[in-house]
Amino acid sequence: MPLGEVVRDKSDSRYCGVETEFNDDMPQLLAFNINGGFDFVVSPLMDPSYRPSLMVAGNNGAGVPPFAGSDLVLSPSQWSSHVVGKISSWIDLDSEDEILRKDSEIALKEEIAWACHLSLQACLLPTPKGASCANYARCVNQILQNLTNMQLWLRIPLEKSDNDAMNGNSDHLSGGQVDSWETWNSFRLLCEHHSQLSIALDVLSSLPSSNSIGRWFGESVRAAIIHTSSFLTNARGYPCLSKRHQKLLSVFFNHSIQAVVSGKPEHSLPTGSSELAVNHIDGLQRHPLRPYLDYVAYLYQRMDPLPEQERFELGYRDFLQSPLQPLMDNLEAQTYETFEKDSAKYIQYQRAVSKALMDRVPDEEASMITTVLMVVGAGRGPLVRASLQAAEETGRKLRVYAVEKNPNAVVTLHSLVKLEGWENMVTIVSCDMRCWDAPEKADILVSELLGSFGDNELSPECLDGAQRFLKPDGISIPSSYTSFIQPVTTSKLYNDVKSHKDLVHFETAYVVKLHRVARLAPSQPVFTFTHPEYSITRSNQRYMKLQFEMPNDTGSALVHGFAGYFDATLYKDVHLGIEPSTATPNMFSWFPIFFPLRTPVQVPPGSPLEFHIWRCCGSTKVWYEWCVTSPSSSPIHNSNGRSYWVGL
C-alpha cells in the first residue's frame, strides 16, 4: 500500500520496497512482503550458487540456468508492478580472475535478458567492486543499446567523506576509499550518459557532508536503499532515524525517489507492545521489517503539503520550454491569462507606482497635478489596473497611456477600459513603443518586459526606444535589473537536450522549472541594465567572465550547464526577482533560464570553474554566446547566434 495519502504530488516516492534474499517460490515471497505492507520487492532472479562455468553441458550443449521458476508463476502485471530484479551480487566484470570475469559477463546478460522477458520496470546492478569499472560499464552499455523500457539502477553507496578534500587528498576518501560519486561519474561517462542508467543510493549509518550529498540531487537517483543498521532506537524502543537522515529522506521524497528497506531486523520491540500482540494478520505472520516501513511512512506523511503554487507548477518541473519572444511574436490569450494571475508581481508593481507617485507629487498638490504615466507593453491591462489602483491608494491624479503592439491584445484593452469606466483616464495606443510619436512626455514609464534572465526578452532595446518620451527627470519602473548565473548538475535536462541529437538544442537557452538539480555554487551577477539610460556611448552588448568556487567538502562535481535568474529594482526599495537568495515569494511569472553545455565539465575538488558569457547585438537580433575555460575548455556555444537568438 502507498506510504500515505497526503496533499502533494502523486510521485513514485509514495511506494516503499524491500530488499529480499533469493527465493525460488516467488509467489510466496511476493505475497508475504505485499501483505506485510511493502509495495514491491527487490529480489534476485537467479540462484546465488549459479555459475555459468560450473554448468554441465546438456540439451544439445546448452546449459539451463536455474532461474526463479517460470514466468507463469506471477501475472505479467505482478512482475511489472511489484518486482525489481536484483542482479547477482557476486558478479565482478573487472576481476583479475578470467573465469570469474567471463562468468560475470554471461550471468549479467542472462539475468537482464530474463528481466526483460518478465517486463520488469527496473533491475538493480551490483556496486562496482574496485577503482576500475571499464569492462563492467562496457557490458552494461552494450545491454543499454538494445534495452527497450527497463531502467538499470546502479547501486552506489552514499559514502562518508570526512575532510580529505580540505587536506589536499582530492582523489580518495578516508581509508583509501574512492569517492562513490567518482565511481558513478566514471561509470555513466563510459555509458555515454544513457538515460536508462540510474542510481540506487545505499544510505548507511554515517552520511557525508551536506554539500557532498547535494551533488546527488541533480543526478538520476531512482531509489534510496535504507539499511536497518542505519536506524537508531527512540525512547519507546522503536526504530527511528537521525535528524540528518530524516531531512535527507524528505528531500528524496520531494525528488520522487523511492525508499527501499534492506537488512535484517535490528530492533526488538518493547515487551507489551501492541505490535507484538498482533502476531498474525489474516493468518499471515507479521512482517519483521514492518516497524521500519511504518517509520518511513511516518516521515512521508508528516511532510509539509506542497504550496498551491508548487502544485500548479508540478507539470512544468524539469520541462524544457523555449523562451517567449514577445517582441517578435504576438502572445496568445492563454499566455496572457497565466501571467495575469500572478498577484505577487502586480502587488510589487503597485507598491512601486505608489511610491513614485508620492515622490513625484507632494500631498499638498495632489488635487492639482495630474501625473502622466505610460505603460509600454500594456498587454491586456494588468499594469494599467495596478497603476490606477496605486493612484487611488495615494490620492493622486493620473493620466495613463497604454501602449501595446499586439492588435489582438488591444481589442481586449478597449473592452477592459469600457467595462471599468476608465475612458477619461486611459488612452490606448496600438503601436510598437519604438515607433510611437507620443503627444506629451511621461512622468513615469512602466513596463514588464523582463525575461527569466532579465534582458533576454529585449527589455533594454525596447526601453531605449521608448525613453525618448520620458521627461528628463522622469521615472522608469523598473529602474534597473541584473542577471545572475549559477553552475548546476542536472542529468535530466542534459539527457532531454541530448535526445534531440543535434547541435542546435545544445546551443539554445531554455526556460525551465528546475527541480532535480544540484546548485553547485552561489549565483553571481552578470549583466546590469539601468533605465533611463541617457549615455550615447553605452552599448547593450555585454561580456562577463565569472569564476565559481565549489565548497571544499563537495568533492568532484559534473556541470551540465548554468541556471540563470534576474533581480530587478522596480523603484527604490521595491524589488522583484527569481534569484534564489532574494526571490519574490509566491511569484510564478518567471522560471529560471538554462544554458546547457554540449559536453558536461567535471570540476575536481578545489578547482575553480571559469565561465564566460557574451550578450551580442546585431541589426535584427540579440543572442548569447557562452563557454567554460577552466578546469577544461568547452567550445564557444551559439557562435554568431547560429542556433538561438531573440528577434528585434
Nearest-5° Cα angle at 233, 232 to 238: 125
Beta bridge partners of 489: 518
Is residue 475 pLDDT above 90, yes or no? yes
Verify that 394 and 489 share a domain, yes or no.
no
The DSSP secondary-structure symbol of 144 reads: H
Per-residue model confidence (pLDDT) at position 270: 66
Mean pLDDT (the chain) is 91
Q: 103 and 139 in contact (C-beta within 8 Å)?
A: no
Taking residues 407-419, report their average pLDDT: 96
Q: Report which of residues 307 and 270 the model is more confident about.
A: 307
Q: Report which of residues 452 and 172 the model is more confident about.
A: 452
Verify that 170 and 129 share a domain, yes or no.
yes
Asked if the bond preceding 631 is cis, omega within 30° of 0, the reply is yes
Per-residue model confidence (pLDDT) at position 60: 43
| Residue 460 resides in a domain | no
User: Which of the listed residues 270, 287, 306 is the one where a domain comes to its end?
Assistant: 306
- State the pLDDT confidence band at 131, using cuts at 50, 70 and 90: confident
| Residue 77 resides in a domain | yes
Distance of alpha carbon 574 from alpha carbon 173, whole angstroms: 47
Residue type for 127, please?
Answer: T
Phi/psi region, residue 282 (left: phi>0; alpha: psi -120 to 50; beta: rest), is left
Backbone angles phi and psi of 364, in degrees to 5: -70, -15
494 is in an annotated binding site: no
The alpha carbon torsion through 8, 10, 12, 14 (nearest 10 deg) reads 60
Phi/psi region, residue 121 (left: phi>0; alpha: psi -120 to 50; beta: rest), is alpha
Query: Alpha helix (H) ranges present in 68-195?
Result: 76-82, 98-117, 134-145, 180-190
Per-residue model confidence (pLDDT) at position 160: 62
593-603 pLDDT, tens per residue?
A: 999 999 999 99
531: its cell numbers? 533605465
Per-residue model confidence (pLDDT) at position 71: 81
Burial string for 392-424 (b: 16+ CB within 10 Å, else e) reads eebebebbbbbbbbbeebbebbeebbeeeebee
Is residue 56 pLDDT above 60, yes or no? no
Verify that 539 and 595 share a domain, yes or no.
yes
Side-by-side strand order, sheet with 426-430: 426-430, 397-404, 370-376, 442-446, 470-477
Is residue 169 pLDDT above 80, yes or no? no
From 406, 512, 510, select the one nearest 456 (Cα to Cα): 510
Greatest Cα pair distance, the chain, in angstroms, is 105
Q: Which helix (H) or strand (E) holds 335?
A: helix 333-340
Point out the catalytic residue in the list 105, 219, 457, 507. 457
Verify that 265 and 340 share a domain, yes or no.
no
User: Which of the listed residues 257, 288, 306 is the one where a domain comes to its end?
Assistant: 306
The alpha carbon torsion through 178, 182, 183, 189 (nearest 10 deg) reads -150
Where in the sequence is the domain holding 370, given as residue range(s)?
333-448
Give catalytic status of residue 448 as yes or no: yes
Distance of alpha carbon 87 from alpha carbon 56, whole angstroms: 22
| Residue 342 resides in a domain | yes
> In 228-366, where do the E strands start and end?
232-233, 239-240, 258-262, 280-281, 284-285
Verify that 287 and 372 share a domain, yes or no.
no
Is residue 83 pLDDT above 90, yes or no? yes
| Residue 418 resides in a domain | yes
Per-residue model confidence (pLDDT) at position 273: 58
Is residue 384 pLDDT above 70, yes or no? yes
Verify that 301 and 340 share a domain, yes or no.
no
Backbone angles phi and psi of 110, in degrees to 5: -65, -45
- State the pLDDT confidence band at 283, using cuts at 50, 70 and 90: very low
Verify that 278 and 394 share a domain, yes or no.
no
Q: The domain that contains 572 carries what CATH number? A: 2.70.160.11
345 is in an annotated binding site: yes
Is residue 560 pLDDT above 70, yes or no? yes
CB 232: neighbour CB atoms within 10 A? Answer: 12
150 is in an annotated binding site: no
Please give the share of the chain, as a percent, with pLDDT higher than 90.
78
Tracing cell 527465493 back to the chain, one arrives at 23
Q: 493 and 594 in contact (C-beta within 8 Å)?
A: yes
Verify that 274 and 233 share a domain, yes or no.
yes
Per-residue model confidence (pLDDT) at position 173: 42
| Residue 59 resides in a domain | no
Cα end-to-end span (Å), the chain: 56
User: Which of the listed residues 403, 430, 448 is the one where a domain comes to its end?
Assistant: 448
| Residue 57 resides in a domain | no
Verify that 343 and 231 share a domain, yes or no.
no
Verify that 520 and 391 share a domain, yes or no.
no
Q: How many domains does the chain have?
A: 3
Give catalytic status of residue 159 as yes or no: no
Point out the catalytic residue in the list 182, 448, 461, 507. 448
Verify that 631 and 503 share a domain, yes or no.
yes
The DSSP secondary-structure symbol of 641 reads: G
Taking residues 445-454, report their average pLDDT: 96
Distance of alpha carbon 405 from alpha carbon 148, whole angstroms: 49
Q: 218 and 490 in contact (C-beta within 8 Å)?
A: yes
CB 45: neighbour CB atoms within 10 A? Answer: 24
Is residue 281 pLDDT above 50, yes or no? no
Q: The domain that contains 132 carries what CATH number? A: 3.20.20.150
Distance of alpha carbon 16 from alpha carbon 262, whole angstroms: 11
Q: The domain that contains 428 carries what CATH number? A: 3.40.50.150
DSSP string, 571-604: ETTEEEE--TTTPPTT--S-PPEEEEEEEEEEE-
432 is in an annotated binding site: yes
Taking residues 619-643, report their average pLDDT: 97
336 is in an annotated binding site: yes
219: its cell numbers? 543526478
| Residue 328 resides in a domain | no
580: its cell numbers? 534564489
Verify that 510 and 609 share a domain, yes or no.
yes
330-364 pLDDT, tens per residue?
A: 889 998 998 899 999 999 999 999 999 999 999 99
DSSP string, 63-96: ----BSS-GGGS-HHHHHHHEEEE--TT--TT-S
198-251 pLDDT, tens per residue?
A: 999 999 999 999 999 999 999 999 999 999 999 999 988 899 999 999 999 999
Backbone angles phi and psi of 376, in degrees to 5: -100, 120
Per-residue model confidence (pLDDT) at position 535: 81
| Residue 104 resides in a domain | yes
Per-residue model confidence (pLDDT) at position 66: 54
Is residue 327 pLDDT above 80, yes or no? no
The DSSP secondary-structure symbol of 471 reads: E
